[in-house]
Amino acid sequence: MPDLTTTAAPALKPGSIKFWGAFAISFGNMAPAASVLFLPQAMAQFTGTAVPLAFVLAMIASFLTAASILHFVKRFASAGAAYTFNSVAFNKVFGFLSGWMLFLAYGLALPSNLLVFGYFSQGFTAQVFGIRISWLIFSVVALAAVTYLVIRGIRTSSRADLVLIVLETLIVAALAVSIIWKGGAHGNTWAVFSPGRAKNEWVGIVFGMLYGVGAFAGFEASATVAEETLERFRTIPAAIFSTIAIGGVLYILVAYAIAIGYGVGNGRLLQTASLPLSVLAIRFVGPWMAVAVELAGMASALGIALASANASARVIYTMGRDHVISSWFAAAHKRFSTPHHAMLVMAGVSGLLIVALGLFVKPYPEGFSYLVAAADVLGLTLYVSVNLAWVKMWWKDSQHYHMGWVVGILPSLLGALVMAIPLASTIFPMPPWPVNLFLYLTFAYIAWGLLTAWRLKIKHPERLAQAGRSLSSND
């Protein structure tokens, strides 16, 4: 029997990053520039020009789920994140299934965003330099760069992510400020924060808010680098909280600029726009700003690919270290102390997905949307489960962690409800072909994980017992 207390190679290096490194992983996963490029027009189908109000509610909804995650990360540190949290709160079978789902949820963000990066890079080089280069070349080169950075070290890759975050945020924030400074189409107004601008008023706002919640997805990703973070039990909660707060302010600012840029009464124009920010960039600043906005979108896609690769590789590494999947994945690079085996497998699978999708459909929006649909089902399910996991943790503690139910579990219960609604709407009614194929494959993948967990429980209970090991704040 193998020694379950050791790893197959050197472990992750504690203290490799501080607050800004952890913040970069969470903020990079959230992809702020990509969110404000692609989400406002979808939200406007329900909210009209009251998109800023929907983002305010989406920010509040995200803080509800963040409350559960913050309770966990203040007490447990593990690169496995939800894998560890659900193992501790529920049981090892469900914990294993959570890890199984989590590394794919993060992992799919790698090929999906590299498809976007390749697509926009092809257009960018053609527009700016007059050179047409296949999007596939950009995607493959970016995949190689991400793989190198993840293996090179969390400090190096988090710094690269931070540079990309600063670039994309400065561009979209500068454009928003320019539109607001010029008063938009008809002047600055609070009317875009009124539910009266939406279809069916508050009903439309709520539906728009559910779309807006997707803009915050990934805010918890810094939990996967907890073992490598200095003063982890303070730094990780601070990084998660700051990600939602800063990201939320940016979303509201840009959404307000978009709404007044189109004009309070022009909700129909907004909802039919392909890239509202690019249109407004030309109108209020100039064609060069539209090019800069495309650059921000490329930086955002590359940033989330890098951040999600770091997160997914660490979840796979943690499960390998716990011996619930092959311990080969638990190998850490001898020089860089990074999960290089996990990253190399991810790079190989991502490359196959990029090439396969590129042979049959356009990389964006088709290829991108298929992978995102699968990732959304996995991610939203895990958000619901982590909220319920904290409720169980609070309930079974004799002192309820010295918190009353209003602080201890009410936000978690509301968070579970908020995340369950878009999850249900993603599945019912089932979307048309071929998106439904990717959802069916996702369900099959979940079933495969559940069967694997039960097989471990029956044949290797001593290995399953290792699931979700973590460092407690009491240690």
Task: Give per-residue pLDDT as tens, 52-98.
Answer: 999 999 999 999 999 999 999 999 888 888 999 999 999 999 999 99
Give the pLDDT of residue 429: 87
Q: Closest by alpha carbon to 13, among 295, 332, 301, 296? A: 332
Number of other CB atoms surrounding residue 46 within 10 Å: 23
Structural domain spans, the chain: 19-472
- Rounded to whole angstroms, the Cα distance separating 276 from 295 reads 15
Give the pLDDT of residue 475: 53
The stretch 374-398 carries a mean pLDDT of: 95
- Rounded to whole angstroms, the Cα distance separating 346 from 42 reads 31
Q: 180-204: per-residue pLDDT in tens?
A: 999 999 999 999 999 988 888 898 8
Tokens 């407004």: give the residue: 280
**Are the C-beta atoms of 41 and 269 separated by less than 8 Å?**
no
Q: Closest by alpha carbon to 330, among 98, 1, 4, 29? A: 4
Q: 209-250: per-residue pLDDT in tens?
A: 988 898 999 999 999 999 999 999 999 999 999 999 999 999
- Rounded to whole angstroms, the Cα distance separating 431 from 83 reads 29
Q: Is the pLDDT of residue 6 over 70?
A: no
Residue 164: CA count within 13 A, CB half-sphere: 33
Domain 19-472 is classified in which CATH homologous superfamily? Amino acid/polyamine transporter I (1.20.1740.10)
**Are the C-beta atoms of 344 and 108 separated by less than 8 Å?**
no
Q: pLDDT tier at 126 (50, 70, 90 boundaries)?
A: very high
Q: pLDDT tier at 1 (50, 70, 90 boundaries)?
A: very low
Model confidence, pTM: 0.92
Q: Is the pLDDT of residue 383 over 80?
A: yes
**Are the C-beta atoms of 337 and 12 separated by less than 8 Å?**
yes
Q: 344-369: per-residue pLDDT in tens?
A: 999 999 999 999 998 899 998 899 99
Q: Is the pLDDT of residue 271 over 90?
A: no
**Are the C-beta atoms of 44 and 270 separated by less than 8 Å?**
yes
